[in-house]
Amino acid sequence: MIETFETVAKAVADPSRVRILKLLEGGELCVCQITAVLDLAAATVSKHLAALKTAGLVQQRRDGKWIYYRLAERDFNAYTRAFLDLVAKAMADDPTVAADRAILARVNSVAVQTLCDQGRAVLFPNVLAASPCYGESP
């Protein structure tokens, strides 16, 4: 039992994983949606999701080429519900979580196909053009 506890505890000890759990409180999301909100590489997000799934905190379903994740609907181990409840209560007022939710609102306004094809750039189309780091020198 202590090994299971350790697996779940390690899964929620990472800030990016906590952010993913908070995002999933609103319902299931595609990997590219999570990637767009967190602004992390898809491979990094996939590793975080794998750790959360191994811990029994999330479930997945495939729909064509997309994989959707949601919070575990059943307790895969004795600690699933307790840790999900802890994260839900402890992080309710966190400013990073609030910022993630604001970006998620933008993400949800874009078709999944478009988001997966174009990535985060579709959410903030003028960001690269306005930055002096891209294109010409200032």
Q: Please tell me the total count of domains within the chain.
A: 1
Q: Is residue 136 part of a domain?
A: no
Residue 76 CA to residue 55 CA, distance in Å, equals 8
Q: Is residue 68 part of a domain?
A: yes
Write the CATH number for 108: 1.10.10.10
Check residue 18 and give its pLDDT.
97
Q: Is residue 138 part of a domain?
A: no
Check residue 128 and give its pLDDT.
52
Check residue 28 and give its pLDDT.
96
Q: Is residue 85 part of a domain?
A: yes
Q: Is residue 97 part of a domain?
A: yes
**Which tens digits make up the pLDDT trace of 27-55?**
999 999 999 999 999 999 999 999 999 99
Residue in the structure block whose two tokens are 């992080």: 91
Q: Is residue 137 part of a domain?
A: no
Q: Is residue 103 part of a domain?
A: yes
Domain that includes residue 114, residue range: 2-130
Q: For residue 2, give Cα distances in angstroms to 5, 94, 115, 124.
A: 5, 29, 40, 44
pTM > 0.85? yes
Q: Is residue 9 part of a domain?
A: yes
Check residue 137 and give its pLDDT.
38
> pLDDT below 70 — which residues of the chain?
127-138
